[in-house]
Amino acid sequence: MIPINRPWIDDEEKQEIIKVLDGNALTSAARNGGKRVQEFESSLRSFLNVKHAIAVNSGTAALHASLLALDIKADDEVLLPSFTFVATANSVVASGAKPVFVDINTKDYTIDLHDLKRKISKKSKVILPVHLYGHPSDLCELNEIANQYSLYLIEDACQSLGSIYKNKQTGTFGTMGCFSMYAGKVVTAGEGGAIVTNDDELADTLKMIRNHGMVEGYDTRRLGLNYRLPELSAAIAKIQMKKLKTILDLRRRNSLLLSNLLETIISKYNIKIPEEDQIKKFNWYLYTLTFNNSNNITLRDYIKKKLIENGIGVAVYYDPPVHKTPFYERFSMNNDLQNTNWSSKHVLSLPVHPGVSEMDIQNMVNVLKRELQNIL
């Protein structure tokens, strides 16, 4: 089975982990983190060309810590898409704020600017766009809206490390940008995350938050949690950053080959494939198709089943969307998320990670063509 995503781990990561174990320094409660945490942060800063990178133990921790750093609290509203992993919304609720779900556009599944403006209120404090599947949101327009309404912009870039908007890395446009190093992400730490910012004061605050609100010893100065990244995880992430350019190149190679092979069938079967433009360049974290036929709910699920039966680990992200999960239905009054609801029933993601070969992609397309012919 070809998994939808798989970390690219080899001897270099293994040797670095052994060094950590031999040194018996598995983690560090120091304000600036341990040696490998600092080395990982330095690599991330250089790659993104930002002033500060603060490593934490998950993308969820990155999102929550960012909201805490801005003193977001009860009665505040955070505007975010529902078409995302639930962690985006969970971080808002954990901060005490109310999530206000905004619809997406169906071109690249990122936050819809018109619906966003419609839902801004006097209680709004933060815009939290998600660069879903590695597709950058409309960041210049989002910054303009944030400035117009005096709102913070926190980028959920957990899926978009290496994606570019107007020749600048995603995660570096807003007040803060949040990244994930989960096992299936472009770069992994097993579990891990990071927040980037160019604001010195926020960087200091985030270092306190990830370490129980402390600066020196037991001098807790604000609410904080144990969001530290262990040295074992940082050891993996540090080596992964050395491979990042190669990882992105291989994902791009696989995605472009897949697009070229699909060109002969997309119009015939009314399938939409992801397309870059001069402004947005993808990291190709996920390669997501949309089935546009009138019977496409049945078609999408049929194709998913057949591809999996043939050893191709396709997946649907995200069905149901967050606002339709049992916990979040209470936040969903008056949301009118038509594009979100539609997309959740029509998308299918294919594997394009570095472990996928050209032969795998050819086989993927052959199975897809055959099964489409069988059902249509």
For residues 95-109, average pLDDT: 97
DSSP string, 110-153: PBPHHHHHHH--TTEEEE--B-GGG----HHHHHHHHHHTT-EE
Q: Which two tokens stand for residue 198?
A: 């160019």
- Is residue 280's pLDDT more than 70? yes
Q: Write the DSSP string, 236-269.
A: HHHHHHHHHHHHHHHHHHHHHHHHHHHTTTTTTT
The pLDDT tens digits for 118-161 are: 999 999 999 999 999 999 999 999 999 999 999 999 999 999 99
- Backbone torsions φ then ψ of 288, nearest 5 degrees: -115, 120
Question: In this predicted model, what pLDDT tens digit does every residue of 288-299 receive, in sequence order?
Answer: 999 987 555 689
How much is the average pLDDT of 280-286? 98
What residues does each domain of the chain span? 11-241, 244-375
- Position 324 pLDDT exceeds 80: yes
Provide the whole-model pTM: 0.97
Mean pLDDT of the chain: 96
Over residues 278-296, mean pLDDT: 89
Domain 244-375 maps to which CATH number in 3.40.50.300, 3.90.1150.10, 3.30.750.210, 3.30.930.10?
A: 3.90.1150.10
Largest CA distance in the chain: 67
Nearest to 43 by CA among 161, 209, 174, 211: 161
Residue 184 structure tokens: 């299936």
247-262, pLDDT tens digit by residue? 999 999 999 999 999 9
What's the pLDDT at 199?
Answer: 98
pLDDT score recorded for residue 297: 60
Please, what is the Cα angle at 280 between 349 and 255, to 5 degrees? 35
Grouping H, G, I as helix, E, B as strand and the rest as coil, residue 102 is strand
CA distances from 52 to 134, 170, 204, 267, 310 (A): 22, 15, 10, 46, 45
Q: Tell me what pLDDT residue 128 has.
A: 99
Report residue 191 as tokens.
Answer: 């579990």
43 has pLDDT over 80:
yes
Taking 90 as the threshold, does the pLDDT of residue 375 lie above it?
no
Residue 236: its pLDDT value, please?
98
Tokens coding 281: 């360049």
**Which fold does the domain 11-241 belong to in CATH?**
Aspartate Aminotransferase; domain 2 (3.40.640)
Res. 273: pLDDT tops 80? yes
Mean pLDDT confidence for 306-317 = 98
